[in-house]
Amino acid sequence: MKKALCVSINRAGWPFISLFGFISAGFWYLYQPLGLVGVVLTLWCAYFFRDPERVTPEESGLVISPADGIVLPLVETPPPLELGMGNESRPRVSIFMNMFNVHMNRIPSHGGIKKISYRPGRFFNASLDKASEHNERMSVFMKSDGGAEIAFVQIAGLVARRIKCSLVEGQQVRAGERFGLIRFGSRVDIYLPIGTKPKVLPGQIAVAGETVIADLGK
């Protein structure tokens, strides 16, 4: 419990926490029981934007989870067309983040960012497979230091209305680095190189920056 309470808060969350706190103070002044509800919501908002440190495996060729959450059924499907990676099917690992997961997203592999593409869309429940195709998304195509093509996609969910991505094309990145978040409840898909066998299973809980999704060296 002490560890959970002492975790740092991402700076992107402070405007929202401040807003919740201000509204809660007003509610408290008008009607104390309503103010108590506001306090609970303010604490939840702070909890949502928590940003714990992670220990990322450094072994070459590893693909690390970009998000906290539950692994959805594994499929093989083409990556988003806007990334220009072709229409051949690749293994896709999808991670669903509920409103209580850590929502900071992290880079899955050492390498370089080749292309970034934003596409507006719908807001279906992010746990549904059709969310990958129809929902608002931010798609990123990268090449690992070993030359492997990897795509990862931030997908807005039923409640999520804002995707934040700090990456730029041409940027060199390291596995485990923070690159963005999605407010509030969402999904991240990661497309692996053709023929790669994922090292996670549906229903498994993934930890951003720590859980190994695949080993491209094996």
Q: What is the dihedral of CA 31, 32, 38, 43, to 10 degrees?
A: 170
Q: The pTM is what? A: 0.83
Give every CB contact of residue 171 below 8 A, 6+ residues apart in sequence. 112, 113
Q: What was the pLDDT predicted at 7?
A: 66
Nearest-angstrom CA–CA distance, 195 and 21: 50
pLDDT band at 211, cuts 50/70/90?
Answer: very high
Nearest-angstrom CA–CA distance, 193 and 23: 48
**Maximum C-alpha span of the chain:** 63
Question: What pLDDT digit, counting tens, does each position of 132-148 carry?
Answer: 777 889 999 999 999 99
For the chain, which domains are there? 2-48 (no CATH), 62-215 (2.70.70.10)
186 is known as an active-site residue: yes
Q: What was the pLDDT predicted at 105?
A: 94
Average pLDDT along the chain = 86
More confident residue, 72 or 17: 72
Cβ atoms of residues 185 and 98 within 8 Å: yes
Q: What is the DSSP string of the chain?
A: -HHHHT--B-GGGHHHHHHHHHHHHHHHHH-HHHHHHHHHHHHHHHHHTB---------TTEEE-SS-EEEPPPEEEPPPGGG---S--EEEEEEEE-TTS--EEE--SSEEEEEEEEE--B---TTSTTHHHHB-EEEEEEEETT--EEEEEEEE-SS--EEEE---TT-EE-TT-EEEEEETSEEEEEEPPTT---S--TTPEE-TTTSEEEETT-
Nearest-angstrom CA–CA distance, 190 and 213: 9
Residue 90, CB half-sphere, CA atoms under 13 Å: how many?
A: 23
Question: What pLDDT digit, counting tens, does each position of 176-201 carry?
Answer: 999 998 876 689 999 999 999 999 99
Q: Given the residues 132, 139, 144, 186, select the one marked as catalytic.
A: 186
Question: What pLDDT digit, counting tens, does each position of 95-130 carry?
Answer: 998 888 888 899 999 999 999 999 987 766 666 777
Please state the rounded mean pLDDT for residues 150-163. 81
Residue 204, CB half-sphere, CA atoms under 13 Å: how many?
A: 17
Instruction: Let me know if 158 is exposed, middle or buried by CB neighbors in 10 A (0-12, 13-18, 19+).
Output: middle
Nearest-angstrom CA–CA distance, 95 and 82: 21
